[in-house]
Amino acid sequence: MIGALVALLVAVKGYEAYQRHVARADGAVPMLPQFREHDDRIFPQSALLPWRMIGRVDFAGHLCSGTLVGPDLVLTAAHCLFKEGVLDSAAHFEVGANAIGYLDRVRVTEIAVAPDYDDIRFVETSEVDGEDWAFLRLARPVGAEHGWMDVAVLDPEDPASILRDNRLSLTGAGYTSDPDNRLSAHVDCAIHTWFNDETLFHRCDMGPGASGGPLFFRDGARWLIFALHSAQVDGEGRYPDLMAVDARALDPALRAALDGSLPFRPAMSHPPRTTLDAVASPAD
């Protein structure tokens, strides 16, 4: 009981104190067009809660973001597992990653991609936008040590009500590639358009590399994923729009992953990367 209370206090204090442990992004890195001429990101200490629940997914050729949603389960974007339409699922998940290392690095052993996802259709059309989600099974239950997020349950008739009625704000976070693949986050960002295919457009400052990263909020002692950052798409004005798959799709997907009704397949394997050294635990 005491241990659980201490963990809760660390989680709450770690989040509330993020302003003492971050660097501002505005002016520090080149401006990406989707940031609409103002970079609102912070660079939190990735070893603290809740930030260390958001990890870097290394596909040995490109990087994405992902979030622990169970002891050995990571939620990410399906398109991250493909290269030119071909499945390329060899990956490691890096906990608490920064520009020089990570707290832990663990091999992905199994994957589950949204059943109706098709990478070519995702790139060329908008027909499967709401299917851009996948789960990664890890070789070790690192979430037992570092924690994990849950997925919010949204009202399909009024999905924004959970935020509005409880006066909650969203944070979008991920490993956008421009600041040396460090974790960056936009606190108190907004959603501006909803779609019937369980996607939305948002105004959280997230760029390449942040695909699979969460838009999340805190509800009491829990951290809940509201949506998963998916892609940048052409906008009607001078700026591109940022698309995310929301919890209308993610909640039933997570329940299927946990109860065994979502099929997993073995992940591919590749030699471990050697350009970064772990600062705590060895890779598995």
pLDDT digits (tens, 9 = 90+) for 57-100: 998 778 999 999 999 999 999 999 998 788 888 899 999 998 88
Say whether pTM exceeds 0.85.
Answer: no
Q: How far is CA 114 from CA 7, 128, 133, 140, in A?
A: 33, 10, 6, 23
Task: Collect all residues with Cβ–Cβ distance below 8 Å to 58 and sequence separation of at least 6.
Answer: 91, 92, 93, 94, 105, 273
Phi–psi pair at 207, nearest 5 degrees: -130, -165
Residues facing 105 on adjacent strands: 94
pLDDT tens per residue, range 233-246: 776 666 678 999 99
37, burial (CB in 10 Å: exposed 0-12, middle 13-18, buried 19+): exposed
Q: Which two tokens stand for residue 11?
A: 């989680």
- Closest residue by Cα to residue 174 from 264, 27, 42: 42
pLDDT of res. 88: 83
* pLDDT at 160 (0 to 100): 87
Looking at residue 270, its pLDDT comes to: 62
The pLDDT value recorded for residue 236 is 64
pLDDT value, residue 22: 43
Residues of the chain predicted below pLDDT 50 = 1-31, 33, 271-283
- E strand or H helix at 67, and its extent? strand 63-70
CA distances 260 to 105, 117, 130, 254, 255, Å, are 25, 19, 21, 10, 8
